[in-house]
Structure 1
Amino acid sequence: MSTVTPLEHTAIGALAGVTEVCIMQPTVGIKNALQEGRPVPRTLPTLYRGLVVSAGAMLPITAVQFGMNRFLEQTYRRVTGAEQPGTGGRVALAMGAGASSAVLGCPAEFVMIQQQKAGRSLPAEFRHSLSTYGPLKPFKGLSATVARESLYACGYLAVAPLLREVLQRQPAVADVPGGPLVLSGIAAGLLATVATQPADTIKTRMQAFPDNAAHPEYRSLASTAAHIARTEGMGTFFAGLGPRALRIVCAVFILNGTRNTIVDAVDAHRHAAAS
């Protein structure tokens, strides 16, 4: 059993999240532009616009997801006496960890989207958003963010490891070096992308049009979903699917790879020191 604590998992999650954003930020710029219906950025500096706030958002999100998932696992063991949750339990704990991070990610993504649209610097965007919309407006789209993050965290914290365990028992896959890891990562990443894409599109559209008086159609999750479906068709919910799929598949490898590498190293060091 791992000796790594929830607090240490939180620190690992922060490192993994920043690493993932620094690598994959261009896919975010492309995805947001496609979802909002504006021109796709063509230069690398423009694609990386919003990197600081995006990394600042992802750091606490993955930190909370990693740490909360570990905390919930330990709580489950104490309450039930079971060594490890079953499949349903692992899925439920991962979804709970993801949902808990939405309150941090929602306002940060609001600022990032406004910055990408306007091209302002980060300090200027903070001042503009606060003076124009007030302190609560950045939480617009929170319900959609909760739905997205719970399913996303389920993908990389539960589904990917579960699929890997299944594939490791299949000789045709297990005999291929890295086969279970690669196939489980791709499958979990694609599944998480498709499952979360509608909520992500709704969230992006709500945050891109924060003025409820000017755009009442984007006032709530339900009104936004209804407006998109009625005026643009169901396919719009999957706008930006390609770049987001690339990001999430890569994120599954980056996040799980970082976590597993550090956790294994810490456990090995502590076991060696104790022996």
Structure 2
Amino acid sequence: MSTVTPLEHTAIGALAGVVEVSIMQPTVGIKNALQEGRPVPRTIAGLYRGLGINAGAMLPITSVQFGMNRLLEQTYKRVYDTEQLGTSGRIGVALGAGASSAVLGCPAEFVMIQQQKSGRPLPAEFRHILSTYGALKPLKGFSATVLRESLYASGYLAVAPLLREALQQQAVVADLPGGPLIVSGVAAGLLATVCTQPADTIKTRMQAFPDTAAHPQYRSLLSTTQHIIQTEGVGTLFAGLWPRAFRIVCAVFILNGTRNTIVEAVQTQRVGVAQAT
């Protein structure tokens, strides 16, 4: 039984999120450019533009996802008086953990997208957004963010571990060095990408055009979806799929690897202390 608390999982999530976004930020810059239909940045500085706000956003997002996942696990076990969540329980808990992080992720990504477009320093971008659009505008695209984050979190927090456990029982995969880990990580990452890509494209397009008076087609999730499909085709919903797929597959390994390594280290240390006393 894990002795790591929700608060400790929250701290682990903060570290894992910063590590992941620091490595994978260029894929975010490429993906956003493709989704918005603007030129892809061709310099390292351009690819890393928005890193500060994105890293600052990922810290609380993954913190919330890790911490809420652990808290919801504990709550589920108490409510149903069980030590095992089962497949549906683990996926449901992960969906809830992901959805809860949208309240932080949505405004942070709004600022990042605006900064990538304008090239302004972060403090200047904050001032511009507040003076031009008001304090609530960064929540534009919230419903799409909830949909994306819930499905994404279920991919790396539930589907990847479930696949790995299943593959460990398959001799063909289990006998390969790191086979279950690699196959489950790639499969879960690709599945999460395909399932969340339309919501991510819709969110990006809504946030890229914050002035709803000038761009009423991007007023809501429904209107944005209809506009994209009617004018550009369903395929546009999957714009930026490959750079995002690469990022998510890597993120599954980085986030789960960081979490598992630290959790195991903490539990081993506690067992050692308990045995010594």
Q: How does 1:31-70 map to 2 (within 5 A)?
A: 31-70=31-70
Return structure 1 stretches of 4+ with deviation > 3 angstroms: none
Q: Given that residues 73 and 84 in structure 1 are in contact (C-alpha distance below 8 angstroms), is that contact kept between their aligned partners in structure 2? A: no
Whether 2:94 is the aligned partner of 1:94: answer yes
Distance 1:159 1:77 in 2: 19
Instruction: Give CA deviations for 1:180-226 in whole Å, capped at 9, x if unaligned.
Output: 00000000000000000000000000000000000000000000000
2:85 alignment partner, SS class? coil
Query: What's the CA shift for 1:106?
Result: 0.2
TM-score (norm 1): 1.00
Q: How does 1:209-220 map to 2 (within 5 A)?
A: 209-220=209-220
Q: How does 1:174-189 map to 2 (within 5 A)?
A: 174-189=174-189
Distance 1:4 1:53 in 2: 29
Q: Given that residues 193 and 248 in structure 1 are in contact (C-alpha distance below 8 angstroms), is that contact kept between their aligned partners in structure 2? A: yes
> Which residue of the partner structure matches residue 251 of structure 2?
251
> Which residue of the partner structure matches residue 235 of structure 1?
235
2:30 alignment partner, SS class? helix
Distance 1:209 1:67 in 2: 33
Query: What's the CA shift for 1:37?
Result: 0.1
Distance 1:230 1:154 in 2: 30
> Which residue of the partner structure matches residue 202 of structure 1?
202
Distance 1:12 1:253 in 2: 15
Whether 2:193 is the aligned partner of 1:193: answer yes
Which structure 2 residue ranges, 5 or more long, are not aligned?
A: none
Instruction: Give CA deviations for 1:220-265 in whole Å, capped at 9, x if unaligned.
Output: 0000000000000000000000100000000000000000000000
Q: How does 1:14-163 map to 2 (within 5 A)?
A: 14-163=14-163
> Which residue of the partner structure matches residue 10 of structure 1?
10
Q: Which AA in structure 2 matches 1:82?
A: T
Instruction: Give CA deviations for 1:98-129 in whole Å, capped at 9, x if unaligned.
Output: 00000000000000000000000000000000
Q: Which AA in structure 2 matches 1:81?
A: D
> Which residue of the partner structure matches residue 221 of structure 1?
221
Query: What's the CA shift for 1:78?
Result: 1.1
TM-score (norm 2): 0.99
Distance 1:209 1:77 in 2: 44
Distance 1:166 1:200 in 2: 29
Which structure 1 residue ranges, 5 or more long, are not aligned?
A: none
Distance 1:23 1:59 in 2: 14
* Alignment length (residue pairs): 275
Q: Which AA in structure 2 matches 1:141?
A: G
Q: Which AA in structure 1 matches 2:98?
A: G
Distance 2:254 2:42 in 1: 26
1:10 alignment partner, SS class? helix
Distance 1:236 1:84 in 2: 41
Q: Which AA in structure 1 matches 2:128?
A: H
Q: Which AA in structure 2 matches 1:215?
A: H
Distance 2:81 2:272 in 1: 27
